[in-house]
Amino acid sequence: MNRSDARKIVLSAIIMVSLSLVALIGSALISNYSRQEKTQNYFRQNMGHLIDADRFEAYEVPEAISDGSVSDFYIAYDMNRKVLGYVLTVRISTDQGELSSRMAISETGDRLLAIEVLDSSMQSLPSLNVMDALNGQLQGVRIPVALQLEYNSEELIYSEYPSVEGLHDGVFFAENDDYDNSGYKDYVEITVKDGRIISVNWDAEAKDGGKNRAQSSVDGEYNMPDGQQIWAAQSYSMENMLVKVQDLDKLAIKSDGYTEIVDGVDMKVNVFYRLAKECIENSRNNVIKEIPTEGERTEETGTEPSEAEELPSVSNDAEDASNFPGDEVSIPSDTAKVEIDNGGIEDGVVVPGEVGDNLIESVDGLPLSEIRTQILGVDSAPEFSATLVSAVNTGYKYIRDYVL
């Protein structure tokens, strides 16, 4: 054997080894692809009815984050690797037992695409027809969700009203230049978060440095005409209604200073309109006005413009609405008690922030201002309805806090 023959043998061996390696790698790739496709087929069979996706990718859920309530989490993609939404399994424990559900949430995290019950040890587990009825109420709704069976509709914010365009986040403040004839200077403070008005406070400071007007009205020192609610209750109603409808024009305040669509408000509210409008304009222009402290506010003398000052004409075809308290709309600390509506509470006086028959602080730990949809639930299965709603809200919070 000469040197040329040896080179041919070595070259042939190298080619054979290379071909073998290619075959092995190709086989491994095909095998891996086959396993992946088998896995994806399994995912599509089990989750495709919740969200129509080309691929699902599983991600570990740290127990320290989810507290054990979220056990599985997947991101759903289309063929172009665009995120379509999220699928997660949520387990809720109650006095009635445990409920395990799987749900699909939109890529924006604010809409429930679909939900199904996987397992339940609840004592009051309803029939499949009842489950289907409740799932039908939840499918496609904006989240988080509240249950009307548990809360009066007037105590929850219907946040389907569109927000005012162009608002910047922050706290915005406006006040009258002078004190009025009764010795008070009105001010309005509006808080904007994620482009929505989430908190409004309307009150007035006393010229002599005494109690604000809301507290004075609660204490019986600032009186309204016979037949009207106290000033604090009426201002509270205006605050909450603005948080609900977002747009001042929807309050239908007429040129004479009155509004006819806010229940329980019989006084003129044109001062509120003017100051709230100034706050909204400040938000649009991102002008965060420094709020002066009590000591910094000058005790200017003068007379407030007439309560009947002209306002822009506002149509009265705004959607009808009713008074209800919102979580983040509050009376300042020096006006801690507000008389609103008796509702079985002694003297009709309730404290904002307390959970009672008149005020609800939150739903599943979420502020009322964050609630987007109310559902009726199922009368024959109130416990199950409440638990499934809690599962939806738990999934919403996980996406909001740890994914988006």
Choose between 115 and 374: higher pLDDT: 115
Residue 62: burial class (beta carbons within 10 Å; 0-12, 13-18, 19+): exposed
Q: Report the alpha-carbon angle 380-397-148, nearest 5.
A: 30
Choose between 305 and 387: higher pLDDT: 387
pLDDT, tens digit, 9 for 90 and up, residues 188-228: 999 998 888 988 999 999 999 999 999 998 888 999 998 89
CA distance 55 to 309: 62
pLDDT, tens digit, 9 for 90 and up, residues 267-291: 999 999 999 999 999 999 998 866 5
Q: What percent of the chain lies above the pLDDT cut of 70?
A: 74
What is the reported pLDDT for 237? 86
pLDDT at 399 over 60: yes
**Assigned fold of 170-359:** Sufe protein. Chain: A (3.90.1010)
pLDDT, tens digit, 9 for 90 and up, residues 308-342: 344 443 333 333 333 333 333 333 333 332 322 33
Choose between 399 and 155: higher pLDDT: 399
What dotted CATH number matches 55-151+373-402?
Answer: 3.30.390.50
pLDDT at 345 over 50: no
What is the mean pLDDT of the segment spanning 65-83? 88
pLDDT at 175 over 50: yes
What is the reported pLDDT for 353? 35
Averaged confidence pLDDT in the chain: 77
**Position of tokens 């004409």?**
313
Q: What is the pTM of this model?
A: 0.47
What is the reported pLDDT for 328? 36
Domain ranges of the chain: 55-151+373-402, 170-359
Report residue 184's pLDDT band, with 50, 70 and 90 as the boundaries.
very high
What is the mean pLDDT of the segment spanning 167-174? 94
Choose between 314 and 89: higher pLDDT: 89
Report residue 81's pLDDT band, with 50, 70 and 90 as the boundaries.
very high
What is the reported pLDDT for 87? 97
Structure tokens at 234: 């009426």
> φ and ψ at 372, to 5 degrees?
-110, -25
What is the reported pLDDT for 277? 96
Report residue 85's pLDDT band, with 50, 70 and 90 as the boundaries.
very high
pLDDT, tens digit, 9 for 90 and up, residues 9-33: 777 778 887 877 877 787 767 666 6
What is the reported pLDDT for 160? 56
What is the mean pLDDT of the segment spanning 255-261? 87
What is the reported pLDDT for 126? 76
pLDDT at 80 over 90: yes
Choose between 236 and 358: higher pLDDT: 236
Choose between 130 and 241: higher pLDDT: 241
